[in-house]
Amino acid sequence: MARTTAPPCGPGTCPGWAGTGRRRDRADLAAIVLELLTLLTARHLVLGAMHHRGAVAHWQGVCHRVLGDLHAAEGRLRQALAEHEDLDCPHWIALSADTLGMTTLTNRYTRHGLLTE
C-alpha cells in the first residue's frame, strides 16, 4: 500500500532529509523538507539537554540554497548562526558559518555573472 502522508518530521529526521537533498542536489527533497520544517520554525525545541533552536533555521537555509533561493538561504543561515552563537554551540557555529560563507560567495558571484549554473 502506498504511503499518502509525509513521515513525521522531528529534529532528527528533517536534518537527515535536508542533508540528503543537499548532497544529491535534490530540489524535490529540499522542497518537501522545507515545507515540513515550516511547522517547527517558531519553536524552541529541547530534547533532554540538547537545544535545536538554530538547527531548524540552518536546515531551512540549506533547503533554500538547494532550491536556488540564495537570498532566503542567507537570511536563514544568518539567523541560525546568531542562535547558535547565543547558545554557545561551537559545532553548529562552525557548520552554519561555513554554509553561510559558501552561500554568500555563490550568491555574490552569481549576481555579478562570475558563476553560472
CATH of domain 14-109: 1.25.40
Binned at pLDDT 50, 70 and 90, residue 76 comes out as very high
Report the pLDDT averaged over residues 3-12.
42
Domain range summary for the chain, segments of one domain joined by +? 14-109
Residue 78 and residue 101 in contact, taking contact as beta carbons nearer than 8 Å: no
pLDDT exceeds 60 at position 40: yes
User: Rounded to the nearest 5 degrees, what angle is found at the Cα of 86, between the Cα atoms of 84 and 92?
Assistant: 15
Closest CA to 66 of 13, 96, 24, 7: 24
